[in-house]
A and B are shown apart, each in its own frame.
Chain A
Amino acid sequence: MALSLEEVNHVATLARLALSEDEKTALAEQLSLILAYVERLNELDTGEIEPLIHILPVFNVLRKDETLPGSSQEEILANAPLVEEGQYKVPRII
């Protein structure tokens, strides 16, 4: 299953990746190989098998509605490139 350059472009845009033309060509090939590999699963007849939602046979992992102290404002903002008035400062995006 070959991935077209447009599809690579689309996925790169969604992932906010700026790729050069060479990288796009290379990635189209590599991604096509990965898809072809996964495609092999379709050779198996899964008609009788229940779809799997989760890899573990576990349901309903829940916690009580109780609060615990989180991190301090300083800790949470420690890695932020820009901080103002106790908040992350980011370029405007609409």
Chain B
Amino acid sequence: MAKEFETVIGLEVHAELKTESKIFCSCSTAFGSEPNTQVCPFCAGFPGALPVLNEKVLELAIRTGIALNCEIPEYCKFDRKNYFYPDLPAAYQISQFDQPICKNGYLEIDVDGKEKRIRINRAHMEEDAGKLVHQGDITTTPFSLVDLNRCGIGLLEIVSEPDMRSAREARAYLEKLRSILLFAGVSDCKMQEGSLRCDANVSVRPTGQKELGTRSEIKNLNSFRALERAIEYEARRHIEAIEDGEELVQETRTWDEEKQLTRSMRSKEEAHDYRYFPDPDLPPLKISREWIEEIRSQMPELPDAARERLVETYGLPHYDAAILTTTPDYLEYFDRVIRLYPDAKLVSNWMMGELNKYLNQTNREISDCLIKAENLAEMLQLIDAGTISGKMAKSVFEEMFNSGKTAPEVVREKGLVQISDEKALSDIIESIINDNPKVVEDYCNGKGKAFGFLVGQVMKATRGQANPAVVNKLLKEKLD
């Protein structure tokens, strides 16, 4: 009999902090510049150059701690994490070891309507490493190129407890964490640009067993989908190994997006011994309670509060409210539409349906969307005014999305105006009735379906432009 297994997952997330300058020097953090043009003697690891902490990094770390319900101890300090790698010119990374800025927090996730609290062990400040570009195939190339522009950008590493039990829970956690960091204004969280990165610790154990199984750490998870797939793959690999009586080793693995599998990078025996020690170049930090309260009083609305607001103010379903509060831009869009067009559920339907569909298809963010909030409200008003039908609105919307034109412009150009004129529709309905004597007879004999067929014929004859309510009314009058 096959044993039941349980997957245990913990995530380590690195978020690049939204600052103008790096964490310990005044170099710019701008993305996409020429290689090695945002570098100084400090972040290039030249001996003798000294670090000075960026005040904004500390403030953003405290803001994150508040948003993630963490304790923020009175004292914290920086330590050196020692290892050799070409993207780390000083041969140590300035990080926080035993006294992080934030600890013991949590966030709430929602999977299939089931709420669950995921604990956060800690969040600490550290500097990012440079970027290594491998020439050609990573497994065969003899050389790599090093760009230090990213080296020294402030990061927050956020470490969860191993509280997740499925790939979907892990994804929900990462999505929620991303929303919180975006709402708190802490990070851009662009996974493609690497400003949000995630490593997953995965192990399996027979259901009911207390101690954890042998774990793998999976790196290179650059999207929500990669995270989900990699965890599913890894859990399956562990279960198969256990069932085949093979021994698992604790190791670091990398997700191969192309082949959709994980590959071993290094085993525990080669694991680093980082020899942490306090960085003598950086004095410790004392975080006053007054400062924390000041930051707390200036916190923007966070996703959970925004979701509650949507449910209470507009009576939206929880599901809708959760999707509308995924990013601050998305919520702001909703809030702007709703000011001009107060039917919240209808606005939500259009955003979750058509708007999301085209955003996904074109891989666009809502901030680059050509349909502005005002334009969507105006289109919805045209439906209410009877100028266009709900069905016509879908093609109007598509045209608006692609061209950036307003709804009235599209309606005018395409001659899409809905026919509500009773006289005009009356003539069309007469001829449909005359052309379909058999169907009319069916209707008179009580076949409900026949009526729908006749409405369909009218819509067809008017190329979808007839006002369905008027058609229904007239057709009934004529038949009865």
The interface residues of chain A lying within 8 Å CB-to-CB of B141 are: 92
Contact for A87 among B21, B53, B84, B145, CB less than 8 A: B145
- The chain A residue with its CB closest to the CB of B83 is A14
- Check B283 against A60 for contact (C-beta < 8 Å): yes
Min Cβ gap A93→B in Å is 6
Chain A residues within 8 Å of B34, by CB? 73, 86
Whether the pair B52, A63 counts as a contact (CB closer than 8 A) is yes
A54 contacts the other chain (CB 8 A): yes
Contact across chains for B283 and A71 when beta carbons are under 8 A apart:
no
Chain B nearest CB from A60 CB (Å) reads: 6
Instruction: Give the contact stretch, choosing among B7-15, B35-43, B233-241, B434-442.
Output: B35-43
Answer whether A93 and B144 are a contact pair too, CB < 8 Å, given A14-B273, A56-B283, A87-B133. yes
Closest A residue to B275 by beta carbon equals: A14
Q: A61-B53, A70-B39 are in contact. Are A91 and B142 (CB under 8 A)?
A: yes
Q: Is the CB of B278 within 8 A of A65?
A: no
10 sampled A-B residue pairs with Cβ under 8 A: A10-B273, A53-B75, A56-B283, A60-B283, A61-B283, A62-B55, A76-B36, A84-B145, A87-B145, A90-B145
Q: Which of B20, B38, B82 contacts A70 (CB 8 A)?
A: B38
Within B12-65, which residues are at the interface with A (CB < 8 Å)? 19-21, 25-28, 34-41, 43-44, 52-58
Which of chain A's residues have a CB closer than 8 A to the CB of B84? 16
A71 and B55 CA atoms in complex are apart in Å by 23
The reply to whether the CB of B460 lies closer than 8 angstroms to some CB of chain A is no
Contacts of A61 in B (CB 8 A): 52-53, 282-283
> Which of B28, B39, B145 meets A67, CB within 8 Å?
B28
Tally chain B residues at the interface, Cβ within 8 Å: 51
Q: How many pairs of residues, A versus B, come closer than 8 Å at their CB atoms?
A: 125
Q: Which residue of A lies closest to B37 (CB)?
A: A73
Residues in B neighbouring A70, C-beta threshold 8 A? 25-28, 37-40, 43
Q: Is A77 an interface residue (CB 8 A)?
A: yes
> Which residues of the partner chain B approach A86 to less than 8 Å between Cβ atoms?
34-37, 147
What's the dominant secondary structure at chain A's contact region?
loop
A92 touches B36 (CB 8 A): no
Which of A59, A63, A65, A90 has a CB less than 8 Å from the CB of B144? A90
A40, chain B: closest CB distance, angstroms: 20
Question: With A70-B38, A93-B144 known to touch, is A59 a contact of B54 (CB < 8 Å)?
Answer: no
- Would A85 and B145 count as touching, CB distance under 8 A? yes
What's the Cα separation between A67 and B20 when bound, in Å?
6
Contact partner of B19 among A10, A16, A65, A94, CB < 8 A?
A: A65
- Give A65 to B52 CA distance when docked, in angstroms: 11
- Asked if B77 contacts A53 (CB within 8 A), the reply is yes
A90 lies within 8 A of B36 (CB): no
- For the complex, is B286 an interface residue (Cβ under 8 Å from A)? yes
Chain B residues with CB under 8 Å of A41's CB are: none
Q: Please give me the residue from chain A that is nearest to B21 by CB atom.
A: A67
CA distance A76 to B410 in the complex (A): 55
